[in-house]
Structure 1
């Protein structure tokens, strides 16, 4: 859905933001300093709501064939990291005056507890990326066996067919039971074979790779449990900070859900309900994206998919086309059949290189989300005592 569809919804924060955040009791007396601080906080909270809305409007403006692709997931995580940083700045700036007092402290602590549950999701997603990388290696065998060959012989075809069979078995196993990689005791700490110098390597994983009976659906349910919009009296009591906490909690919830939808992981149940009033200026694009992703999952060829990532769908299609083609090959190859093989190899190569170039940066970005959550929670809880 184009971003212009949301302009009416995001035209003004006043429908739910400024009017609510400006509520004050008539008999309340403010000093000039407190009035100034209150106005500054109100402007920051309004800017935060707009930032979230703009980020998700941009995500929702993508075409259907772009949503859930690796580049789109990158943008999604960029939006999360940007919102997380702005939220963190609000918490630190106003913690002495607001967040360390009841009930604001309870709201921010609840958010940090939700964020801890997201760490397991990040680890599960990392395992899923590793699984896709194994499929990429099978594509690599096929690509280099058949690409740039003067003539394609039986040996190259046999090697390709074996790799395609291994790929098909691996993807089928994942569809039937997506617990095959759960036992890999991986973390985002510095034990990784290849260390990312730009990541926060000093933070060791607080949540090791998930256990065999871990469920992504149950973890999402735990993140979204009791995630309700604050009431007017709660907004007044927290000077509007409850709205910011609710917004960041919802961003966390949606981003984790979208990752689970895209990447293979254990028990990927996607029938998670999103309940948020459209009075929030970011609600329309979030709910639209939720519906579009669900629609994708309902398509006949996607219902049993082990992940809705666009590149996974391309792997399946390329593998199926190559299998169908190799089943009809007889030697010696005719010029027409050899040209057809090379065309299929070219298509497979495009998918292979998109994975080769995209999976590493995606894994590092998920790792950065993990570490940013750890750092924000640690600093935030220390800040409010």
Structure 2
């Protein structure tokens, strides 16, 4: 035990210590701001940072120079110096001007939400394609910020026509970044063409895609249904690469795709870069929307995913199955009969939530625990019926199911 404790202490020392900063505004109340900071803390933990303290400030809008007010920034700087914290993370995007000013006042590294997510994606990317997608997003995020990053190298302004080396360096770096962006786009376009050919070679097999908020259990469910070993972890964005497996239920084959999870305030550059993942969603016949029923704000997460699917994937009209996962982690706190305050999510029994969502979705709704394998047979039955209906539309005169799919992996009969 002593050796394990020593290793744990070493790991804790290696982790960066961070403070989180968020705003309470007319469009974002305190409850919402605290919830966003909870998610930011999870992002920080995924990136390897330990959250020491959270700072919230109520204001009409972010300060154009310091994001928060001068007094709050001084409070943050004082805490950072006193407790030897090396990282300040803001829940919203910062301008180069804001970042430079905050770094000057605090004397430590400053990140915004987008930078943190990009760092996590860079850590998680395993394949060459995923690494290229992340690198493209990083350069696209960096390009408009080069001017602010080079202000510390500018000389005093001279006479007419005199430009400091900082400005020349900005132009040089801008050309380099633009060239890299162009090359990465060319490589990704070539890779996309290969993926299009691969999708065509899959024939007319029914395609079902798992979609959902990050860390809701998509990869775990993928492993259960396909008997594979897709990496799954209780971290945000545990998997970035699109994974496609052939699943066979009662001798009926279909393709099951695991996609990258969505998140609130997902950087636009990442959405654009991960076009191939979104293509898998566009090409799917059925979407399986996996939801973490144990999360207090699961309904808002559903809205985030649906909005993202509609805006960037044009997949809002596809047939969808709602799979409420993690029923084994669902907690219910009975409400006092004399309590007149509005009911919260934790005061609603699971049975009531089931009846509510099943009334909305009809048969396209199931409650499971992928980790505990609860109600998996019910989900398989639902997937089988969907795949069978699509198969019979495509092969109305075929009385065999999968003998023509020899080019795929051997079926794993259930």
TM-score class normalised by the smaller sequence: under 0.3
TM-score normalised per structure 1: 0.27
Instruction: Give the TM-score normalised by the residue count of structure 2.
Output: 0.26
Which structure has more relative contact order (CA 8 Å, sep 6+)? It is 1
Between structures 1 and 2, the one with greater strand share:
2
Higher helix share: 1
